[in-house]
Amino acid sequence: MSVDVPKKLIPPVDSSTVRQVYGRENPDIIKPVLSRGNISQSALNSKNADMVSRSVQRRTTYPEQNTGSVQRNAVPVQNHVAEPVQRRTSAPKRRRAAASGQALIRGQKWTVTGNGGNTIHKMRVCVGWEQNRSGCELDMSAFMLAQNEKVLSDDWFVFYGQEQSPDGSVKYCSNSDNFSLPDDAELSVSLDDVYPSVQKILVCVTIYEASERHHNFGMVRDLYARILDDNGRELVRYCADNLPPQATALVLGELYRYNGVWKFNAVGSGYNRDLSEFCRIYGVELE
């Protein structure tokens, strides 16, 4: 059995974005396939990418005043004044939650306990990041590993295409469409329900189509992970500084069993691998 990684749908883009990606302003980037956008299929199939830029520019330009002469292929001018075109700006900026939990450094381990030594049974592992105007798309995921450092099966890889583990203990949620939330993605974890053969849960961040789009973690800043208890109170936070600039996959942290107790380790290890190669390290086969 292998895991099917679904193709993500790219939201509509405006003309400036198309000119940047498909036009002469950025000739070296591999051109991704657009879907569900405002560009016609015939334009996408054109061999001349610059034609797409010009066609979009024509559609978003105000019509000229009627001077009495009719230009070839001109759009008929209405008698009323055209309304300004609403251009889509960059995504809204999230209002990040202020750090309030214990600060961890790379390699530091934390026992999953609350005030007074009470064990935390349910938690949320939340991650967030900022981009350096790169447009790269990050994804959170979890590998649930046995003693041999491999997943029990492909079903124990939790990500945007497979949002829940077979035992229901780990659930993935992306906040990409909800900018009122402070974090970009999160995992809800019920430690009491984790299957006994699972000894470790890796919390990972990867870059979507990193090799195709020439993206890496050098284009990302302020990457962090924070653990919240079931009441939404922040317990610990790990800020991943000095990431390997060429890395395209990252193990941000890990929850693991130790003498019957769950602990968290701030790992921060990067890999220069695409998603399929990264998954094979932990025994996941992708279609």
User: How many structural domains does the chain have?
Assistant: 2
Residues 68 and 163 both lie in one domain: no
CA distance 213 to 29: 6
* 77-123 pLDDT tens trace: 444 444 444 433 456 778 888 889 999 999 999 999 765 566 788 99
Residues 19 and 147 both lie in one domain: no
CA distance 261 to 145: 16
CA distance 231 to 256: 22
Query: What is the average pLDDT score of the chain?
Result: 77
Task: Collect all residues with Cβ–Cβ distance below 8 Å to 112 and sequence separation of at least 6.
Answer: 119, 120, 123, 191, 227, 255, 261, 262, 263, 264
Q: Pull the structure tokens for residue 276.
A: 């399929």
CA distance 187 to 123: 8
Residues 21 and 147 both lie in one domain: no
- Is 287 within a domain? no
Residues 61 and 117 both lie in one domain: no
Residues 85 and 111 both lie in one domain: no
Task: Collect all residues with Cβ–Cβ distance below 8 Å to 89 and sequence separation of at least 6.
Answer: none
Pick the last residue of a domain from 89, 117, 152: 89
Residues 67 and 42 both lie in one domain: yes
Residues 149 and 240 both lie in one domain: yes
Q: Percentage of the chain surpassing pLDDT 70?
A: 68
CA distance 246 to 219: 9
- Over residues 66-87, mean pLDDT: 44
CB 45 within 8 A of CB 33: no
Residues 110 and 209 both lie in one domain: yes
Pick the last residue of a domain from 46, 65, 89: 89
Residues 114 and 160 both lie in one domain: yes
One-letter amino acid for residue 182 of the chain:
P
- Is 94 within a domain? no
- Is 218 within a domain? yes
- Is 95 within a domain? no
| pLDDT surpassing 60 at residue 23 | no
CATH number at residue 209: 2.60.60.30
CA distance 220 to 239: 13
- Is 249 within a domain? yes
- pTM > 0.85: no
Q: Percentage of the chain surpassing pLDDT 90?
A: 49
CA distance 255 to 199: 8
| pLDDT surpassing 50 at residue 60 | no
- Give alpha helix (H) positions in the chain: 15-22, 41-44, 49-59, 210-213, 275-281
- Is 142 within a domain? yes
- Proportion of the chain in helix, strand, coil states, percent, rounded to 5: 15, 30, 50
- Which structural domain range is residue 182 located in? 102-281
- Is 250 within a domain? yes
- Is 97 within a domain? no
CB 251 within 8 A of CB 125: no
Task: Collect all residues with Cβ–Cβ distance below 8 Å to 182 and sequence separation of at least 6.
Answer: 94, 95, 96, 97, 126, 128
Look at residue 10 and give its three-state secondary structure. Answer: coil
- Over residues 258-272, mean pLDDT: 93
CB 126 within 8 A of CB 261: no
Residues 225 and 197 both lie in one domain: yes
* 210-239 pLDDT tens trace: 989 999 999 999 999 999 998 999 999 999
Residues 137 and 262 both lie in one domain: yes
Residues 49 and 70 both lie in one domain: yes
Pick the last residue of a domain from 89, 122, 137: 89
